Amino acid sequence: MSPNATPPVASSLIAPPLGHALPSYLQADNLGPWGIYLQQVDRVIPYLGHLARWAETLKRPKRALVVDVPIQLDNGTVAHFEGYRVQHNTSRGPGKGGVRFHQDVTLSEVMALSAWMSIKNAAVNVPYGGAKGGIRVDPKALSRGELERMTRRYTSEIGIIIGPTKDIPAPDVNTNEQVMAWMMDTYSMNQGATATGVVTGKPVDLGGSLGRRDATGRGVFTVGMEAAQHIGLDVVSARVAVQGFGNVGGVAARLFAQTGARVVAVQDHGGTIYQASGLDVPALQAHVAATGSVAGFPQAEVIANDTFWDVDCDILIPAALEQQITAANAGRIKARMIIEGANGPTTPAADDILQERGILVLPDVIANAGGVTVSYFEWVQDFSSYFWSEDEINARLVRIMKEAFSGVWQVAQDHKVSLRTATFIVACKRILHARELRGLYP
Ligand code: GLU
Protein backbone atom coordinates (compact mmCIF):
# COMPACT_ATOMS: atom_id res chain seq x y z
CA MET A 1 0.00 0.00 0.00
CA SER A 2 1.41 3.43 -0.88
CA PRO A 3 1.97 5.78 2.08
CA ASN A 4 -0.95 7.96 1.00
CA ALA A 5 -3.45 5.14 0.52
CA THR A 6 -6.16 4.90 3.14
CA PRO A 7 -6.70 1.52 4.74
CA PRO A 8 -10.10 -0.06 4.11
CA VAL A 9 -12.61 0.37 6.91
CA ALA A 10 -12.99 -2.83 8.90
CA SER A 11 -16.69 -3.37 9.35
CA SER A 12 -16.18 -5.21 12.63
CA LEU A 13 -14.74 -2.00 14.06
CA ILE A 14 -17.81 0.03 13.17
CA ALA A 15 -19.96 0.92 16.16
CA PRO A 16 -23.71 1.12 15.64
CA PRO A 17 -24.88 4.69 14.92
CA LEU A 18 -25.66 6.78 17.99
CA GLY A 19 -28.87 6.00 19.81
CA HIS A 20 -29.91 3.28 17.45
CA ALA A 21 -30.58 -0.41 17.97
CA LEU A 22 -29.02 -2.16 15.04
CA PRO A 23 -30.92 -4.04 12.37
CA SER A 24 -34.58 -3.34 13.18
CA TYR A 25 -34.49 -0.09 11.19
CA LEU A 26 -33.93 -2.03 8.03
CA GLN A 27 -37.43 -3.49 7.97
CA ALA A 28 -39.88 -1.54 10.09
CA ASP A 29 -42.07 1.21 8.71
CA ASN A 30 -42.18 3.05 12.04
CA LEU A 31 -38.55 4.08 11.81
CA GLY A 32 -37.33 7.20 13.48
CA PRO A 33 -35.98 9.86 11.09
CA TRP A 34 -32.36 8.76 11.63
CA GLY A 35 -33.28 5.16 10.81
CA ILE A 36 -35.06 6.38 7.67
CA TYR A 37 -31.99 8.33 6.62
CA LEU A 38 -29.73 5.29 7.16
CA GLN A 39 -32.04 3.21 5.01
CA GLN A 40 -31.96 5.87 2.28
CA VAL A 41 -28.14 5.79 2.33
CA ASP A 42 -28.07 2.01 2.15
CA ARG A 43 -30.15 2.19 -1.02
CA VAL A 44 -27.50 4.24 -2.85
CA ILE A 45 -24.37 2.38 -1.80
CA PRO A 46 -24.56 0.01 -4.82
CA TYR A 47 -24.37 3.07 -7.12
CA LEU A 48 -21.36 4.74 -5.53
CA GLY A 49 -18.63 2.71 -7.26
CA HIS A 50 -15.22 3.07 -5.63
CA LEU A 51 -16.55 5.83 -3.35
CA ALA A 52 -18.62 3.22 -1.50
CA ARG A 53 -15.58 2.52 0.68
CA TRP A 54 -16.16 5.94 2.27
CA ALA A 55 -19.91 5.49 2.73
CA GLU A 56 -19.61 4.88 6.46
CA THR A 57 -18.76 8.59 6.74
CA LEU A 58 -22.37 9.36 5.85
CA LYS A 59 -23.77 7.04 8.49
CA ARG A 60 -22.63 8.97 11.52
CA PRO A 61 -22.58 12.67 12.35
CA LYS A 62 -19.19 14.34 12.46
CA ARG A 63 -20.11 16.19 15.65
CA ALA A 64 -23.19 16.34 17.90
CA LEU A 65 -23.59 18.80 20.76
CA VAL A 66 -26.31 18.57 23.40
CA VAL A 67 -26.70 21.66 25.56
CA ASP A 68 -28.68 22.61 28.63
CA VAL A 69 -30.61 25.85 28.09
CA PRO A 70 -31.71 27.28 31.44
CA ILE A 71 -33.76 30.48 31.41
CA GLN A 72 -35.70 32.52 33.91
CA LEU A 73 -39.41 32.40 33.15
CA ASP A 74 -41.61 35.48 33.54
CA ASN A 75 -42.96 34.09 36.83
CA GLY A 76 -39.46 34.05 38.32
CA THR A 77 -38.88 30.29 38.19
CA VAL A 78 -36.09 28.67 36.17
CA ALA A 79 -36.84 26.27 33.32
CA HIS A 80 -34.35 24.00 31.59
CA PHE A 81 -34.67 23.11 27.90
CA GLU A 82 -32.65 20.60 25.95
CA GLY A 83 -30.88 22.02 22.89
CA TYR A 84 -28.93 20.36 20.10
CA ARG A 85 -26.62 21.27 17.25
CA VAL A 86 -25.41 18.47 14.99
CA GLN A 87 -22.84 18.87 12.24
CA HIS A 88 -23.34 15.84 10.07
CA ASN A 89 -20.67 16.52 7.50
CA THR A 90 -18.27 19.33 6.63
CA SER A 91 -16.32 17.74 3.77
CA ARG A 92 -17.57 20.28 1.21
CA GLY A 93 -17.63 23.37 3.43
CA PRO A 94 -19.01 24.69 6.71
CA GLY A 95 -22.03 23.14 8.36
CA LYS A 96 -25.33 24.68 7.25
CA GLY A 97 -28.90 24.13 8.28
CA GLY A 98 -31.78 25.45 10.31
CA VAL A 99 -32.77 25.48 13.95
CA ARG A 100 -36.20 24.25 14.97
CA PHE A 101 -38.15 24.85 18.15
CA HIS A 102 -40.61 22.02 18.70
CA GLN A 103 -41.81 19.98 21.65
CA ASP A 104 -41.02 16.70 19.87
CA VAL A 105 -37.43 17.50 18.82
CA THR A 106 -34.93 14.78 19.75
CA LEU A 107 -31.23 14.27 19.16
CA SER A 108 -31.84 11.50 16.63
CA GLU A 109 -34.30 13.70 14.72
CA VAL A 110 -31.76 16.53 14.57
CA MET A 111 -29.12 14.03 13.42
CA ALA A 112 -31.37 13.00 10.53
CA LEU A 113 -32.23 16.59 9.66
CA SER A 114 -28.51 17.48 9.66
CA ALA A 115 -27.77 14.56 7.36
CA TRP A 116 -30.54 15.58 4.96
CA MET A 117 -28.93 19.04 4.88
CA SER A 118 -25.62 17.44 3.78
CA ILE A 119 -27.46 15.67 0.96
CA LYS A 120 -29.52 18.74 0.01
CA ASN A 121 -26.55 21.13 -0.05
CA ALA A 122 -24.56 18.72 -2.19
CA ALA A 123 -27.55 18.08 -4.48
CA VAL A 124 -27.84 21.77 -5.40
CA ASN A 125 -24.04 22.10 -5.22
CA VAL A 126 -23.79 24.91 -2.69
CA PRO A 127 -20.42 24.79 -0.91
CA TYR A 128 -21.65 23.58 2.46
CA GLY A 129 -21.74 20.49 4.56
CA GLY A 130 -24.85 19.71 6.57
CA ALA A 131 -25.93 20.71 10.07
CA LYS A 132 -29.10 21.22 12.07
CA GLY A 133 -30.13 22.41 15.49
CA GLY A 134 -33.13 22.40 17.69
CA ILE A 135 -34.62 22.96 21.11
CA ARG A 136 -37.14 20.60 22.63
CA VAL A 137 -39.76 23.19 23.55
CA ASP A 138 -43.25 24.30 22.61
CA PRO A 139 -42.43 27.89 21.67
CA LYS A 140 -46.12 28.81 21.63
CA ALA A 141 -46.15 28.36 25.41
CA LEU A 142 -43.41 31.01 25.90
CA SER A 143 -43.76 34.77 26.10
CA ARG A 144 -41.72 36.86 23.67
CA GLY A 145 -39.24 37.66 26.44
CA GLU A 146 -38.86 33.99 27.37
CA LEU A 147 -38.40 33.06 23.70
CA GLU A 148 -35.68 35.69 23.35
CA ARG A 149 -33.85 34.57 26.51
CA MET A 150 -34.03 30.93 25.42
CA THR A 151 -32.75 31.75 21.92
CA ARG A 152 -29.87 33.81 23.31
CA ARG A 153 -28.79 31.21 25.87
CA TYR A 154 -28.99 28.45 23.25
CA THR A 155 -26.88 30.52 20.83
CA SER A 156 -24.29 31.13 23.54
CA GLU A 157 -24.15 27.43 24.35
CA ILE A 158 -23.66 26.35 20.72
CA GLY A 159 -21.34 29.34 20.14
CA ILE A 160 -18.34 27.03 20.58
CA ILE A 161 -19.11 25.27 17.29
CA ILE A 162 -20.95 27.80 15.09
CA GLY A 163 -19.54 30.75 13.15
CA PRO A 164 -19.60 32.27 9.64
CA THR A 165 -16.91 29.87 8.42
CA LYS A 166 -17.78 26.94 10.71
CA ASP A 167 -21.51 26.37 10.83
CA ILE A 168 -24.30 28.74 9.84
CA PRO A 169 -27.80 28.27 11.35
CA ALA A 170 -31.00 29.46 9.68
CA PRO A 171 -34.76 29.33 10.29
CA ASP A 172 -36.70 26.08 10.34
CA VAL A 173 -39.94 24.95 12.02
CA ASN A 174 -41.13 27.68 14.47
CA THR A 175 -38.09 29.92 14.04
CA ASN A 176 -38.10 33.10 11.99
CA GLU A 177 -36.26 36.31 11.10
CA GLN A 178 -36.58 37.69 14.64
CA VAL A 179 -35.06 34.54 16.13
CA MET A 180 -32.19 34.84 13.62
CA ALA A 181 -31.67 38.50 14.62
CA TRP A 182 -31.33 37.45 18.29
CA MET A 183 -28.92 34.67 17.33
CA MET A 184 -26.82 37.02 15.24
CA ASP A 185 -26.74 39.60 18.04
CA THR A 186 -25.84 37.08 20.74
CA TYR A 187 -23.01 35.58 18.71
CA SER A 188 -21.76 39.06 17.78
CA MET A 189 -21.85 40.29 21.39
CA ASN A 190 -19.84 37.26 22.48
CA GLN A 191 -17.32 37.85 19.66
CA GLY A 192 -17.07 41.59 20.21
CA ALA A 193 -17.86 42.35 16.56
CA THR A 194 -20.96 42.24 14.41
CA ALA A 195 -20.90 39.00 12.43
CA THR A 196 -23.87 39.05 10.08
CA GLY A 197 -22.70 35.89 8.28
CA VAL A 198 -23.19 33.65 11.33
CA VAL A 199 -26.85 32.99 10.50
CA THR A 200 -29.03 33.34 7.41
CA GLY A 201 -32.72 34.09 7.14
CA LYS A 202 -32.16 37.38 8.98
CA PRO A 203 -34.34 40.48 8.54
CA VAL A 204 -33.42 42.33 5.35
CA ASP A 205 -32.42 45.38 7.42
CA LEU A 206 -29.84 43.27 9.25
CA GLY A 207 -27.95 41.65 6.39
CA GLY A 208 -30.80 39.38 5.31
CA SER A 209 -31.48 38.67 1.65
CA LEU A 210 -34.40 39.74 -0.44
CA GLY A 211 -36.33 36.68 -1.57
CA ARG A 212 -35.23 34.48 1.36
CA ARG A 213 -38.67 34.35 2.98
CA ASP A 214 -40.32 32.90 -0.13
CA ALA A 215 -37.32 30.91 -1.33
CA THR A 216 -38.27 27.43 -0.10
CA GLY A 217 -41.82 27.69 -1.47
CA ARG A 218 -40.51 29.14 -4.73
CA GLY A 219 -38.10 26.21 -5.07
CA VAL A 220 -40.95 23.75 -4.41
CA PHE A 221 -42.96 25.44 -7.14
CA THR A 222 -40.02 25.54 -9.58
CA VAL A 223 -39.19 21.84 -9.36
CA GLY A 224 -42.92 21.03 -9.43
CA MET A 225 -43.31 22.90 -12.71
CA GLU A 226 -40.26 21.17 -14.19
CA ALA A 227 -41.45 17.71 -13.17
CA ALA A 228 -44.99 18.39 -14.38
CA GLN A 229 -43.59 18.99 -17.87
CA HIS A 230 -41.73 15.67 -17.78
CA ILE A 231 -44.87 13.71 -16.91
CA GLY A 232 -47.28 15.71 -19.05
CA LEU A 233 -49.24 17.13 -16.11
CA ASP A 234 -51.06 20.36 -16.96
CA VAL A 235 -50.53 22.55 -13.90
CA VAL A 236 -53.07 25.15 -15.02
CA SER A 237 -55.92 22.68 -14.56
CA ALA A 238 -54.33 20.78 -11.66
CA ARG A 239 -55.80 20.35 -8.19
CA VAL A 240 -53.34 20.84 -5.35
CA ALA A 241 -53.52 19.65 -1.72
CA VAL A 242 -51.13 21.13 0.82
CA GLN A 243 -50.20 19.95 4.32
CA GLY A 244 -48.69 22.80 6.34
CA PHE A 245 -49.45 26.39 5.49
CA GLY A 246 -46.43 28.23 6.83
CA ASN A 247 -43.45 29.62 5.05
CA VAL A 248 -43.19 26.67 2.67
CA GLY A 249 -46.73 25.37 2.05
CA GLY A 250 -48.33 28.82 2.02
CA VAL A 251 -45.89 30.25 -0.52
CA ALA A 252 -46.00 27.15 -2.75
CA ALA A 253 -49.83 27.22 -2.65
CA ARG A 254 -49.83 30.90 -3.63
CA LEU A 255 -47.48 30.33 -6.58
CA PHE A 256 -49.43 27.31 -7.86
CA ALA A 257 -52.72 29.22 -7.50
CA GLN A 258 -51.21 32.12 -9.48
CA THR A 259 -50.58 29.80 -12.44
CA GLY A 260 -54.26 28.82 -12.41
CA ALA A 261 -54.05 25.59 -10.38
CA ARG A 262 -56.83 25.03 -7.83
CA VAL A 263 -55.69 24.58 -4.22
CA VAL A 264 -58.50 22.29 -3.07
CA ALA A 265 -57.37 21.18 0.40
CA VAL A 266 -55.13 22.54 3.11
CA GLN A 267 -54.26 20.90 6.41
CA ASP A 268 -52.38 22.39 9.32
CA HIS A 269 -52.15 21.89 13.10
CA GLY A 270 -55.60 23.48 13.46
CA GLY A 271 -57.49 21.15 11.10
CA THR A 272 -58.24 20.40 7.45
CA ILE A 273 -60.26 22.49 5.02
CA TYR A 274 -61.57 21.67 1.56
CA GLN A 275 -63.03 23.63 -1.35
CA ALA A 276 -63.52 21.75 -4.64
CA SER A 277 -63.60 24.93 -6.73
CA GLY A 278 -60.29 26.09 -5.22
CA LEU A 279 -59.51 28.04 -2.05
CA ASP A 280 -58.84 31.76 -2.18
CA VAL A 281 -55.16 31.44 -1.22
CA PRO A 282 -54.39 35.12 -0.44
CA ALA A 283 -57.54 35.27 1.75
CA LEU A 284 -56.46 32.06 3.50
CA GLN A 285 -52.96 33.47 4.06
CA ALA A 286 -54.50 36.57 5.65
CA HIS A 287 -56.72 34.35 7.83
CA VAL A 288 -53.73 32.27 8.98
CA ALA A 289 -51.69 35.42 9.67
CA ALA A 290 -54.54 36.74 11.85
CA THR A 291 -55.61 33.54 13.66
CA GLY A 292 -52.58 31.22 13.53
CA SER A 293 -54.22 28.38 11.61
CA VAL A 294 -56.54 27.45 8.73
CA ALA A 295 -59.28 26.50 11.22
CA GLY A 296 -62.36 28.70 10.98
CA PHE A 297 -61.65 29.89 7.43
CA PRO A 298 -65.14 30.85 6.29
CA GLN A 299 -65.03 30.01 2.57
CA ALA A 300 -64.34 26.27 2.96
CA GLU A 301 -65.74 23.02 4.21
CA VAL A 302 -64.10 21.32 7.22
CA ILE A 303 -63.09 17.69 6.63
CA ALA A 304 -61.66 15.08 9.02
CA ASN A 305 -57.87 15.22 9.28
CA ASP A 306 -57.39 11.66 8.06
CA THR A 307 -59.61 12.33 4.99
CA PHE A 308 -56.90 14.69 3.72
CA TRP A 309 -55.06 11.67 2.28
CA ASP A 310 -58.11 10.63 0.22
CA VAL A 311 -58.65 14.02 -1.40
CA ASP A 312 -58.95 13.99 -5.18
CA CYS A 313 -55.92 15.97 -6.32
CA ASP A 314 -53.12 15.95 -8.88
CA ILE A 315 -50.34 17.45 -6.78
CA LEU A 316 -49.81 16.78 -3.07
CA ILE A 317 -47.41 18.98 -1.13
CA PRO A 318 -46.49 17.74 2.36
CA ALA A 319 -44.93 20.86 3.89
CA ALA A 320 -45.18 20.19 7.63
CA LEU A 321 -43.22 17.59 9.60
CA GLU A 322 -41.58 14.19 9.12
CA GLN A 323 -43.21 10.80 8.63
CA GLN A 324 -46.61 11.96 7.40
CA ILE A 325 -46.85 9.66 4.37
CA THR A 326 -46.52 6.09 5.65
CA ALA A 327 -47.52 2.59 4.60
CA ALA A 328 -50.87 3.35 6.26
CA ASN A 329 -51.90 6.12 3.87
CA ALA A 330 -49.63 5.83 0.80
CA GLY A 331 -52.10 3.45 -0.85
CA ARG A 332 -54.90 6.03 -0.60
CA ILE A 333 -53.17 9.04 -2.13
CA LYS A 334 -54.75 10.11 -5.43
CA ALA A 335 -52.12 12.61 -6.58
CA ARG A 336 -49.92 11.99 -9.62
CA MET A 337 -47.06 13.89 -8.07
CA ILE A 338 -45.88 14.59 -4.51
CA ILE A 339 -43.58 17.53 -3.86
CA GLU A 340 -41.88 17.29 -0.48
CA GLY A 341 -41.76 20.77 1.01
CA ALA A 342 -41.11 19.29 4.48
CA ASN A 343 -37.99 17.40 5.44
CA GLY A 344 -38.53 13.64 5.68
CA PRO A 345 -42.31 13.49 5.18
CA THR A 346 -42.30 10.06 3.46
CA THR A 347 -41.14 6.77 5.03
CA PRO A 348 -39.14 4.33 2.88
CA ALA A 349 -42.03 1.81 2.94
CA ALA A 350 -44.38 4.54 1.68
CA ASP A 351 -41.82 5.49 -0.98
CA ASP A 352 -41.96 1.92 -2.31
CA ILE A 353 -45.78 1.89 -2.39
CA LEU A 354 -45.88 5.24 -4.20
CA GLN A 355 -43.30 4.10 -6.74
CA GLU A 356 -45.26 0.91 -7.40
CA ARG A 357 -48.42 2.97 -7.91
CA GLY A 358 -46.64 5.26 -10.40
CA ILE A 359 -46.88 8.35 -8.20
CA LEU A 360 -43.87 10.59 -8.76
CA VAL A 361 -42.18 11.81 -5.55
CA LEU A 362 -40.02 14.93 -5.77
CA PRO A 363 -37.90 14.35 -2.68
CA ASP A 364 -37.23 16.93 0.05
CA VAL A 365 -33.49 16.90 -0.60
CA ILE A 366 -34.06 18.60 -3.93
CA ALA A 367 -37.64 19.96 -3.72
CA ASN A 368 -37.13 22.13 -0.63
CA ALA A 369 -33.53 23.15 -1.36
CA GLY A 370 -34.62 26.64 -2.45
CA GLY A 371 -34.40 27.92 1.13
CA VAL A 372 -30.80 26.98 1.69
CA THR A 373 -29.89 28.11 -1.81
CA VAL A 374 -31.00 31.66 -1.02
CA SER A 375 -29.37 31.27 2.40
CA TYR A 376 -26.17 30.73 0.45
CA PHE A 377 -26.84 33.91 -1.53
CA GLU A 378 -27.42 35.74 1.76
CA TRP A 379 -24.11 34.49 3.19
CA VAL A 380 -22.24 35.50 0.02
CA GLN A 381 -23.87 38.95 0.11
CA ASP A 382 -22.96 39.37 3.80
CA PHE A 383 -19.32 38.46 3.14
CA SER A 384 -19.07 40.88 0.22
CA SER A 385 -21.31 43.55 1.85
CA TYR A 386 -22.93 43.96 -1.53
CA PHE A 387 -26.62 43.20 -1.91
CA TRP A 388 -28.47 41.96 -4.96
CA SER A 389 -31.94 42.80 -6.29
CA GLU A 390 -34.85 40.44 -5.70
CA ASP A 391 -35.15 39.74 -9.43
CA GLU A 392 -31.50 38.72 -9.58
CA ILE A 393 -31.92 36.46 -6.55
CA ASN A 394 -35.04 34.78 -7.90
CA ALA A 395 -33.45 34.30 -11.33
CA ARG A 396 -30.35 32.68 -9.80
CA LEU A 397 -32.52 30.53 -7.54
CA VAL A 398 -34.63 29.26 -10.44
CA ARG A 399 -31.52 28.54 -12.49
CA ILE A 400 -29.89 26.49 -9.73
CA MET A 401 -33.09 24.58 -8.97
CA LYS A 402 -33.72 23.76 -12.65
CA GLU A 403 -30.14 22.66 -13.27
CA ALA A 404 -30.05 20.49 -10.16
CA PHE A 405 -33.42 18.96 -10.98
CA SER A 406 -32.54 18.13 -14.56
CA GLY A 407 -29.28 16.47 -13.43
CA VAL A 408 -31.14 14.34 -10.92
CA TRP A 409 -33.86 13.49 -13.44
CA GLN A 410 -31.19 12.20 -15.84
CA VAL A 411 -29.55 10.03 -13.16
CA ALA A 412 -32.99 8.59 -12.28
CA GLN A 413 -33.53 7.68 -15.94
CA ASP A 414 -30.03 6.25 -16.37
CA HIS A 415 -30.22 3.99 -13.32
CA LYS A 416 -33.99 3.43 -13.37
CA VAL A 417 -34.28 4.55 -9.76
CA SER A 418 -36.57 6.92 -7.87
CA LEU A 419 -35.77 10.62 -7.80
CA ARG A 420 -34.88 10.26 -4.11
CA THR A 421 -32.29 7.59 -4.82
CA ALA A 422 -31.05 9.61 -7.79
CA THR A 423 -30.63 12.74 -5.64
CA PHE A 424 -28.80 10.71 -3.01
CA ILE A 425 -26.52 9.26 -5.72
CA VAL A 426 -25.60 12.73 -7.01
CA ALA A 427 -25.15 14.17 -3.52
CA CYS A 428 -23.33 11.24 -1.91
CA LYS A 429 -20.86 11.10 -4.80
CA ARG A 430 -20.09 14.81 -4.37
CA ILE A 431 -19.64 14.49 -0.62
CA LEU A 432 -17.57 11.32 -0.76
CA HIS A 433 -15.43 12.60 -3.62
CA ALA A 434 -14.57 15.66 -1.50
CA ARG A 435 -13.94 13.35 1.42
CA GLU A 436 -11.60 11.20 -0.65
CA LEU A 437 -9.71 14.23 -2.00
CA ARG A 438 -9.20 15.56 1.51
CA GLY A 439 -8.03 12.18 2.82
CA LEU A 440 -7.95 11.02 6.41
CA TYR A 441 -6.39 13.20 9.07
CA PRO A 442 -3.90 12.51 10.54
N1 GLU B 1 -34.31 24.98 7.38
C2 GLU B 1 -34.20 25.03 5.96
C3 GLU B 1 -34.01 23.65 5.39
O4 GLU B 1 -34.40 22.66 5.99
C5 GLU B 1 -33.16 26.03 5.49
C6 GLU B 1 -31.77 25.80 6.00
C7 GLU B 1 -30.83 26.94 5.67
O8 GLU B 1 -31.21 27.90 5.01
O9 GLU B 1 -29.68 26.83 6.10
O10 GLU B 1 -33.55 23.48 4.28
3-state class of 267 per DSSP? Answer: strand
Of all protein residues, whose CA lies closest to atom 9 belonging to ligand 1?
97
132 is catalytic: yes
What backbone torsions phi and psi does residue 100 show, to the nearest 5 degrees?
Answer: -115, 145
Fold of 213-367: Rossmann fold (3.40.50)
Query: What ranges do the domains of the chain cover?
Result: 11-194, 213-367
> Please, which residues have CB within 8 angstroms of residue 56's CB and are 6 or more apart in sequence?
9, 14
CA atoms within 13 A on the CB side of 1: 6
pLDDT of res. 32: 86
Pocket lining: 118 vs ligand 1, CB cutoff 6 Å = no
Best substitution site from 96, 117, 214, 378 to test ligand 1's pocket, by max atoms within 8 Å of Cβ? 117
CA of 120 to the centre of ligand 1 (A): 9
Answer whether 208 contacts ligand 1 (Cβ < 6 A): no
Q: Which of 120, 132, 140, 202 is catalytic?
A: 132
Q: Do domains 11-194 and 213-367 have the same CATH topology?
A: yes
Global pTM reads 0.92
Report the alpha-carbon distance of residue 148 to residue 150 in Å, rounded: 5
Expressed in angstroms and rounded, the spacing between residue 176 Cα and the centre of ligand 1 is 11
> CB-hemisphere CA count at 13 Å for 124?
32
Ligand 1 centroid distance, CA of 375 (Å): 8
Does 172 contact ligand 1 (Cβ within 6 A)?
A: yes
Question: CA 223 to CA 366: how far, in whole Å?
Answer: 8
CATH homologous superfamily of 11-194 equals Leucine Dehydrogenase, chain A, domain 1 (3.40.50.10860)
| Bridge partners (DSSP) listed for residue 271 | 268
Q: Which residues contact 388 (CB under 8 A, 6 or more apart)?
A: 209, 210, 377, 381
Residue 404 vs residues 121, 219, 370, 392, 423: alpha-carbon distances, Å = 11, 11, 11, 18, 9
What does the pLDDT profile of the chain (442 residues) look like in tens digits?
A: 344 444 444 443 444 444 444 433 334 445 789 999 999 999 999 999 999 999 999 999 999 999 999 999 999 999 999 999 999 999 999 999 999 999 999 999 999 999 999 999 999 999 999 999 999 999 999 999 999 999 999 999 999 999 999 999 999 999 999 999 999 999 999 999 999 999 999 999 999 999 999 999 999 999 999 999 999 999 999 999 999 999 999 999 999 999 999 999 999 999 999 999 999 999 999 999 999 999 999 999 999 999 999 999 999 999 999 999 999 999 999 999 999 999 999 999 999 999 999 999 999 999 999 999 999 999 999 999 999 999 999 999 999 999 999 999 999 999 999 999 999 999 999 999 999 999 999 9
Q: Probe ligand 1: pick from 114, 172, 220, 376, max atoms within 8 Å of CB?
A: 172
